Chains A and B, each alone.
Chain A
C-alpha cells in the first residue's frame, strides 16, 4: 500500500513536471522595436507621429541634441524563449534580439533580453548587452551613426502569459 502511494506520488510529480515543462515550452514574447533616425536641426522638435509614445523621452535631454526624429523601420518580432531574431539596421549593422527568459512573481512580470549589434566590416560586436525589463517596458539604445545623424532603437517586449 505504501509502495502504491509512493508510486502515485511519483507519477503525479512527473505529470506536474511535464505540464510545467509544456507550459514553459509555449512561452512566446512579441517584441516591438521601432528604429528611429535622429537628425540635427533647428526649431521645435519634429517627431514622427508613429512614435508618439516615445515623445516624452525625445523632447528631453540628452535627446534635445537632435530635432528631427523619423521612424525608419519597425521590427515586430515573435520570439520563443531562448530564441533569437536578427534584423538589419539602416546602417547595415545586423542586430540580434534574444528572448533569454521570463520571470513571474508577485507584482512583477519581467523579461530577460539580450541585444547584440555587430559591425560586419570590422568583425566585432559594437554592443552586446543583457538586461531585464518589465513587460511592456522600454529600453533605448542610442548612438549608432547613420546618414548625418544617429539611430535610436526602442526595445519593448511582452509575453503571451
Chain B
C-alpha cells in the first residue's frame, strides 16, 4: 500500500476499528511491510499510553511523596529551578540533615551501583519536521528507578 495522506488516514481508521468489514478486507489485502510496522508501532504506543495511565492510577502510595520531601535538593527540584528561574535557599544545619537523608534515600532507591545505564533529563526546546510527523514519547526509566523519564523522538516519514 502506498502511503499518502488519505491512506494514512485510512490506516489510522483501520487501527481504530472504524472501517466496514469490506473496507477492512481491502486494507488488509493491500498491507505492505511498512504498514504492518506502522500498525505494530501504533499498537505499542497505545499500550504504552494505557500502561502509563494505569501506572499513574496505581501509584497512589506515600513513598513517592515522602521521597520527594526527603530529596528536596534532588533533580526534580533542580529541573523546576531551571524552568522557573528559582534559586536555592541558603543552606542551614537542618538542610544538611535533610540532604544527608535525601542522599541515603536516593542511594536506596536509585542504587547507582547497579547502573551502567544512561540517565536522561531531556528538555526538547524545538522540534521541526518536513515530510514527516514527529512525536515525543517519555519512557519510564524503571527498573533503574531514575527520577527522569527517557525521551524518544519518534519520526514517521511520509512516502
Interface residues of A (CB under 8 A from B): 40, 52-53, 56-57, 60-65, 105-108, 110, 112, 117, 119, 122, 124-134, 136-145, 148-150, 156
Contacts and interface: CB of A to CB of B under 8 A. Distances in A.
Secondary structure of the B contact surface, majority rule: mixed
A122 B82 CA distance: 38
Given A106-B88, A126-B131, A137-B118, 15 more contacts: A40-B40, A57-B150, A125-B129, A126-B132, A129-B126, A129-B153, A130-B125, A131-B124, A131-B151, A134-B119, A134-B121, A140-B150, A140-B151, A143-B154, A150-B37
A156 B47 CA distance: 27
Q: Interface residue tally of chain B, by bracket?
A: 35 or more
B45 interface: yes
A105 B83 CA distance: 13
B119 A137 contact: yes
Nearest to A39: B37
A60 to B, nearest CB: 7
B121 A133 contact: yes
Contacts of B81: 105
A99 B5 CA distance: 36
Nearest to A141: B153
B155 A141 contact: yes
Name the 3 nearest CB pairs between A and B, nearest first.
A134-B121, A62-B44, A65-B40
A53 B44 contact: no
A53 B131 contact: no
